[in-house]
Amino acid sequence: MKEQLQSPYNYVIGVDGGGTGTRVLVADQSGRELARACAGPSGLMHGSKAAWASILAAIDAAFLETGIKTPDLSECVIACGLAGVHNKVWAQDFCDANPGFAGLVLETDAFTTLLGAHQGRPGAIIALGTGSVGEVMQADGSRREVGGWGFPSSDEASGAWMGLRAINHLQHVLDGRARDNAFAQALLTHCGGHRDAVFNWLAGANQTRFAQLAPIVIEYAASQSQAGDILSAAGREVEKMANALDPTATMPIALCGGLAEAVWPYLPQAVLPRMTRPQGDSVQGALILVMQHFEKQSATD
């Protein structure tokens, strides 16, 4: 979704927003990076008001880093790659709540991740964070997604997916269906230390809270088979996504997101030759998107 340019602009802003946090890159009109900053979640599952609050907080922090007073929003154009954009109602609500930017481009976080990973060139990505998604862009500009249906039914190999499996292991231990171990004890401590506390934790658990268990999975993966099995299963899910994105096995596939490095050692050998590290991140992809869009629009005005 895009808004027409309302006025000349002095700053361009790229945003990567998910269920756990928001990252912002501020650049000048030429695209020269000035600063980056972070804030709370801005995935649209949290609502447009909360999303904009996090984005604006990150923008303020970025300008503070530069020593430049935060300008009027009418001096800025912005591209947001956000989780939840596929929900058209959420996306429209977000655009309708534009707090005053001269121009807004809204895309999926998968597409901005792809643009950053391959610097605007054709290729595929599999992004592993709070959620997960895969996307491919062909040489003709056509795009296709794999996964990204949302937690808990999808988001395979994501932090939330790992957390859901981790808490299931803890439940089995508390019931006596599995042997107690250090992994389960670490999960129990995180959730409050006793059985009733786990029930309370579950009552308020959402995608973000399940994803907060992923670091515990990673910490114990080398020493506890139950944690290692979760990461091995994540690696197999990445292989399935790779095969669906590029059945010909001819395109570069960048493994991206905060959990990419943790999952990399658990990828099946057959898929490893096809995987690459990203050349840039999602906020750089959002910057590419906003620069391309408004440069084109300015040229046609």
Say which DSSP state 20 is in: S
Angle at 251 between CA 1 and CA 151, to 5 degrees: 50
Q: Please report the pLDDT score of residue 3 as a whole number.
A: 58
Arithmetic mean of pLDDT, 154-170:
97
pLDDT at 45 over 60: yes
Q: Of 157, 150, 161, whose CA–CA distance to 108 is shortest?
A: 150
- Strand ranges in 57-165 using DSSP code E only, listed in sequence order: 76-82, 103-108, 123-128, 132-137, 143-147
Q: Please report the pLDDT score of residue 76 as a whole number.
A: 96
Arithmetic mean of pLDDT, 104-123:
94
Q: Please report the pLDDT score of residue 298 as a whole number.
A: 54
**Which residue is it, tokens 């020593």?**
67
pLDDT at 6 over 80: no
In this prediction, residue 272 has a pLDDT band, given cuts at 50, 70 and 90, of very high
Q: Please report the pLDDT score of residue 18 as a whole number.
A: 85
In this prediction, residue 50 has a pLDDT band, given cuts at 50, 70 and 90, of very high
Q: Largest Cα–Cα distance of the chain, in whole Å?
A: 69
Percentage of the chain with pLDDT > 90? 87
The dihedrals phi and psi of 159, each to the nearest 5 degrees, come to: -60, -40
The CATH number fitting domain 126-277, selected from 3.40.720.10, 3.40.605.10, 3.30.420.40, 3.30.70.1230: 3.30.420.40
pLDDT at 72 over 90: yes
Q: Please report the pLDDT score of residue 301 as a whole number.
A: 54
Q: Please report the pLDDT score of residue 300 as a whole number.
A: 53
Do 11-119+281-300 and 126-277 agree at the fold level? Answer: yes
SS3 call for 46: helix
Rounded Cα distance between 246 and 248, Å, is 5
SS3 call for 100: coil
Percentage of the chain with pLDDT > 70? 96
Please state, rounded to an integer, the average pLDDT across all residues of the chain. Answer: 93
Which CATH superfamily hosts domain 11-119+281-300? ATPase, nucleotide binding domain (3.30.420.40)
pLDDT at 42 over 80: yes
Laid out side by side, the sheet with 103-108 consists of 33-39, 22-28, 11-17, 76-82, 103-108
CB 132 within 8 A of CB 126: yes
Q: Please report the pLDDT score of residue 1 as a whole number.
A: 62
SS3 call for 9: coil
CB 26 within 8 A of CB 18: no
pTM for the whole structure: 0.82
Domain boundaries, the chain: 11-119+281-300, 126-277
